[in-house]
Amino acid sequence: MDTLTGLLEGPKARGAFLLKSVFSPPWSLRVEDRAPISVVTMVRGDAWVLPDNGRPVRLCPGDVAVMRGPDAYTIADRPDTPVQIVVGPEQRCNTTEGEDVTDSMALGVRTWGDDSRAGSSVMLSGTYQAPSEIGRRLLAALPVLLVRPAEVGDNPLVRILADEIGKDEIGQELVLDRLLDLLLVSVLRTWLAIPESGAPAWYRAQSDPVVGPALRLLHEQPGKAWTVASLADNVGVSRAGLARHFTTLVGEPPMAYLTEWRLTLAADLLREPDATVATVARRVGYSGAFALSAAFKRVRGLSPQEFRKGGRGEAVERQGAVRQTVVLDR
């Protein structure tokens, strides 16, 4: 498994919140739901995304914006339109006067807003409900706001999502979850493929003739009893040379990287209903349940059992060099 596959395997929506919003200008929503990631695209009309900690960006039809939580942001028809509705935890919506309009503004299946006329602004949004659905390493790498203009990749996924979001058929939730995953991954692939776009150091390091093979070995064989010395032997360099070069390019030593990768895999395996902590531990390279639990608690701030029950753990540390707003070239 290469590092790109390892990164993009992270997004796995489970009962994600998807919605088509229909508004007549002027309109403005303040989003304070603390969701780990939200994906927004305009079907009709323009909108502005105004993150609290990033540069505002205008969205045109077909543009796709990825907002990294838990920071709040505002999305509106114009940057100066006053906030009218605040979206809070569990997607409850209140006016700025405190009136709950979550149900009163419903317009049909997964459709919400103040208008359904042809001239209205139409926005599609998908929200991941928990950090465990994304992957810690991905969350740490993302900018606050990432925008892929429609011209960069005229993605049929937007059109398919627009068609599917209002349906109420058997298995529809699963269909929408996978469409959301695919849309997010398509934006991430575009981001990672463009030089100087702010891709994380550990992703860029895969092209290095020494560190790249080492990363691939760690991803393909995470359960092996790796040491820096054995990893260096496999890539044909000295132990000290690999440790120094790996840390410089990736930003952390090889064994620290391996620990995080093992715990990422463990988190994914722990979601399987029949998996035990002991079997997961052996699959990812730990001697037993106790060793995995200790590492999981130390790094993620909660035990494997608490994670399985839906705990969120400590906030994900952000990479210091990540830019707050990234707009991919049109």
* pLDDT tens digits, one per residue of 106-135: 888 989 898 766 668 999 999 887 665 556
- Whether the CB-CB separation of 105 and 113 falls below 8 Å is answered with yes
Whole-number pLDDT of residue 259: 92
Concatenated DSSP letters of 38-97 = EEEEEEES-EEEEETTS--EEE-BT-EEEEESSS-EEEESSTTSPP-EEE-GGG-EEETT
Identity (one letter) of the amino acid at 58? R
Residue in 103, 164, 171, 140 with CA at minimum distance from that of residue 317: 140
Looking up tokens 């150091």 gives 201
Q: Where are the alpha helices (DSSP H) in the chain?
A: 3-8, 136-141, 156-164, 172-193, 201-204, 211-220, 228-235, 239-250, 254-270, 277-284, 289-300, 304-308
Phi, psi of 327 (to 5 degrees): -115, 120
Whole-number pLDDT of residue 171: 85
Residue in 125, 20, 23, 18 with CA at minimum distance from that of residue 64: 125
Whole-number pLDDT of residue 317: 47
Six-digit token string for 217: 């070995």
pTM here is 0.77
Q: How far is CA 67 from the centre of its chain?
A: 8
CA distance 313 to 290: 18
Q: Is the peptide bond before 156 cis (omega within 30 degrees of 0)?
A: no
Whole-number pLDDT of residue 306: 86
Residues 6+ apart with CB under 8 A from 300: 136, 263, 267, 307, 313, 314
Q: How far is CA 224 from the centre of its chain?
A: 28
Residue ranges of the chain with per-residue pLDDT less than 50:
314-321
Six-digit token string for 273: 């209903």
CA distance 49 to 29: 10
Looking up tokens 């092209």 gives 207
Strand partners, 50: 74
Whole-number pLDDT of residue 116: 61
